[in-house]
Amino acid sequence: MNCDEVTRDLDAFVDRELAADAVAPIRHHLGACASCRQRVTDREALGRLVRSVPYYDAPELLCARVSGQVQRTRSGRRLVTWAAAAVLVLSVGGGISLVRSAATRSDAAIDDVVNGHVRSLMAEHLFDIRSTDQHTVKPWFLGKLDFSPPVVDLASVGFPLVGGRLDYVAGRPVAALVYQRQKHTINVFVCPASNATTTLRARAVRGFHVHHWMRDGMSFWAVSDLNDVELMEFVRALQTI
């Protein structure tokens, strides 16, 4: 696919409305195109902001004045339109400023990793490489990322490695390692830690448990619908190996 074709389907891709066979070519293109990855990041960020903007009712005095103008002249109809637009612009602008000032990088990262986890399950694209052998999964990432993710198998403690794939967090490619606990899937997103990254112990987001930690210059996010006690057991096992 080229950039024009990806741009055409980008909104549907971000909203997870594409069929599974249409997702793979876009993912392949995003892996090589930084500008299209940035477009994905911008659309996801805009979606978060719009969903977070509070709704403000117009002041009663403004409503009364607009209503009076409508009843008196046709020009009042134009005033209604402009007043409504002004209220909307002020509400959205004020809401976005408030969200931007209150939001943190960690909040955005949480949304990205949870969205990535859900997307991998809904689009049936959980694996680019399916294997329980860490010596098969780790080399697969060579040449696909500008870093080498640590890959370990935790089958001995009940959390077998089952594969991996490329994914995206904050618009950049990351390694997604996939583990299993009975019927529960655990996604572990791995990327180099930035100076702005903050450590988050645990969060519950939309029914998923999220754990974040940093080690040896790498940032790790573990996401699953597994109960938090067992997920914490998994995290501790991964941190000590």
> Hey, where are the domains in the chain?
3-52, 60-102, 105-240
Q: What is the mean pLDDT of residues 116-144?
A: 90
pLDDT at 87: 52
Average pLDDT, the chain: 80
How far is it, in rounded angstroms, from Cα 153 to Cα 161? Answer: 5
Q: Which residue has the higher pLDDT, 140 or 96?
A: 140
pLDDT band at 174 (very low <50, low <70, confident <90, very high): very high
Higher pLDDT, 150 or 32: 150
Mean pLDDT check: name the lowest of 33-37, 73-77, 108-112.
73-77
pLDDT of residue 53: 55
Is the pLDDT at 172 greater than 70? The verdict is yes
**Around Cβ 185, how many Cβ atoms within 10 Å?**
17
Residue with tokens 């967090």, as numbered in its chain: 169
Return the closest-CA partner of residue 141 out of 175, 172, 111, 116: 175
Which residues, in sequence order, are bridge partners of residue 142?
Answer: 145
Strand arrangement of the beta sheet that strand 172-181 belongs to: 129-130, 161-169, 172-181, 184-192, 218-224, 208-215, 203-205
Per CATH, the number for 105-240 is 3.30.200.100
pLDDT, position 99: 38
For 39-91, the pLDDT digits (tens) are 888 777 777 666 655 555 666 666 667 667 656 655 555 555 555 555 555 55
Q: What is the mean pLDDT of residues 96-122?
A: 69
CA 196, 226, 168, 97 dihedral sign is negative
